[in-house]
Amino acid sequence: MKVVVGERNLLPHRELLVSLLPSSVELSWHPTFDEAALVVDLADADVYIGGRVTPAMARAGVGLQLVHTGGAGTDKVSFDDLPAITQVANTFHHEDSIAEYILAAAVMLRRGLIAQDSALRSGTWATSVYQDGVPQPPTMRGAMIGYVGFGHIGRRTADLMGAMGARGCAVTGSGRVGDTAGLDWHADISELGRLLKESDVVVVSAPLNDRTTGMIGAAELAQLGPDGLVINVGRGPLVVERDLYEALEAGTIAGAAIDVWYRYPSVGDHAEPSGMPFHQLPNVLMTPHTSGVTRDTFVGRVHDVADNIGRLVDGRSLERVVWPVR
């Protein structure tokens, strides 16, 4: 069985993946995304590991039995171009890492630590101890955290926030949230306005699709208000790009942590993440889609990927199949 690996985040765990796979599996590694090289290599492949499958790659993989993304997202997979025999599976294990990021970002923004760091680098002690007019910031105790989407990430974040004394509410596409511990209330997306009005911090982790693209725009941000914070760890286009920038610039909302963006590098490590100058704003924490990128995350994902390939070799049913939809 030939397995083509196009997920660069698995490279640090190459030995682990090899150790977990049956000896009959042949691995072909691609340390950088080169569509032309991948098209050639996929011609006789049985499995592709990677989150980006272009139409050309999908059409080239005529014998692909499995496309296994290296994470949860499947929005970059060209499903319609895949062979009828192909199953697509995903993996998670990022909830602890992302929940830590959300908690850290919320504390940094709520306490004004980014602005304090910037001021102190120029010699200014921006604290009420030394400066008139500087407010004393609140802790997380009693804060309302609004979750737009409440899957693995929301559940784990609510656990951490609850330990800090924060409250929670959530809206999802279906209105269901599973375990409701730590939530004051939950509802379907029709209650997004209520969530925004009641929340101090809004955590966006919904999946990106036709229904959720642009779900938070100028009107929704205005409902959050001048003390509210947005933390987006889902996908950039869930929040309207220009509307978010203008709300931050005007003080319509207090701040944002943005880990997911509107533009990504196609080659190399350089690309402007947005057409708007978010980097000029003092109330934004900008990170390059790293909230879930930890060793713990990818060790867990390697085990999931290896398990599914082993199942494929043995003729057993696969886990976490997202396509074809059952």
pLDDT of 326 over the 90 cut: no
Give the CATH number, domain containing residue 212: 3.40.50.720
Does 110 lie in the same domain as 54?
no
Q: Encode pLDDT of 64-74 as tens digits.
A: 999 999 999 99
What are phi and psi for residue 158, nearest 5 degrees? -60, -35
Give me the pLDDT at residue 182, please: 85
**Which of 55-59, 183-187, 227-231, 263-267 shows the lowest per-residue confidence on average (mean pLDDT)?**
263-267
Does 26 lie in the same domain as 173?
no
Does 74 lie in the same domain as 101?
no
Does 278 lie in the same domain as 190?
yes
Q: Please give the C-alpha separations between residue 103 and each of 75, 136, 187, in angstroms, as whole numbers.
A: 26, 19, 23
What mean pLDDT is predicted for residues 302-311?
A: 98
Does 219 lie in the same domain as 206?
yes
Q: Binning pLDDT at 50, 70 and 90, where does residue 155 land?
A: very high
Give me the pLDDT at residue 156, please: 97
Q: What percent of the chain has pLDDT over 70?
A: 100
User: Which domain covers residue 78, as residue numbers?
Assistant: 2-93+295-323
Does 274 lie in the same domain as 305?
no
The DSSP code for 216 is B
Q: Encode pLDDT of 235-254 as tens digits.
A: 999 999 999 999 999 999 99
Give me the pLDDT at residue 178, please: 87
Q: Binning pLDDT at 50, 70 and 90, where does residue 206 land?
A: very high
pLDDT of 174 over the 90 cut: yes
Does 56 lie in the same domain as 106?
no
Q: Binning pLDDT at 50, 70 and 90, where does residue 141 land?
A: very high
Please state, as a whole number, how many other Cβ atoms lie within 10 Å of the Cβ of residue 100.
16
Q: Binning pLDDT at 50, 70 and 90, where does residue 197 land?
A: very high
pTM of the model: 0.94
Give me the pLDDT at residue 92, please: 96
Does 37 lie in the same domain as 164?
no
Q: Encode pLDDT of 71-95 as tens digits.
A: 999 989 999 999 999 999 999 999 9
Number of domains in the chain: 2
Strands laid side by side in the 167-172 sheet: 185-188, 167-172, 144-148, 201-204, 229-232, 255-258, 284-286
Please state, as a whole number, how many other Cβ atoms lie within 10 Å of the Cβ of residue 92.
17
Does 247 lie in the same domain as 236?
yes
Does 125 lie in the same domain as 242?
yes
The two structure tokens encoding residue 236: 């950039």
Of 246, 228, 227, 245, which Cα lies nearest the Cα of 236?
Answer: 245
Does 140 lie in the same domain as 73?
no
What mean pLDDT is predicted for residues 229-237?
A: 98
